[in-house]
Amino acid sequence: MNSGIQKMGSGWMGAVLCSACLLCLGAETALAQPKGEKAFQVVATDVKGVETEVHGVIFYWEEKISETAFVPHELKEVPVKRGTATVKIKFDVIKTIDVKSSGNGTPLAVAITLNDGKAGEFTLAIAGSFKGQSDFGEVELPAVELKRIAFK
């Protein structure tokens, strides 16, 4: 009889622990995606002329810290070089990014037009990709394979 009570008690405790774990996981997911954070939408045109609509776009690259370890970086800005300065242009002020073809081994040249009409010529500070969700699933567009990105 005593073992029956122990089994019933341990089953009940397991259910409570499982529920607590699920609540913690749900809270962690909620914390990872702050409310009110703007999700950006773009229409990306690749070098073959194919347009892809991307929701929740980020600028992504992986930093190699050892032979087998990488640190992922996800930004809502584009790090570019202007002379020796690195400028981080936030997505919310960008209207378009036009990618210019460059030779192998040279930094990728881009022309960025802001929402207020200002434009500038830059080189990408980091060879990254634009990632997000398309209607067909997750999409990753390497910057070197793009012609244009138009923010909506």
Model confidence over 43-83: pLDDT tens digits? Answer: 999 999 999 999 999 999 999 899 999 999 999 999 999 99
Domain count, the chain: 2
Q: In whole angstroms, give the CA distance from residue 74 to residue 62.
A: 9
pTM of the model: 0.73
Domain region containing 11: 1-35
Residues 106 and 129 occupy one common structural domain: yes
Which residues of the chain have a pLDDT value below 50? 5-9, 12-33
Residues 31 and 104 occupy one common structural domain: no
Residues 147 and 76 occupy one common structural domain: yes
- Strand extents, DSSP E, the chain: 41-46, 51-64, 70-75, 77-82, 85-90, 94-100, 109-114, 119-124, 129-134, 137-142, 146-151
Residues 69 and 48 occupy one common structural domain: yes
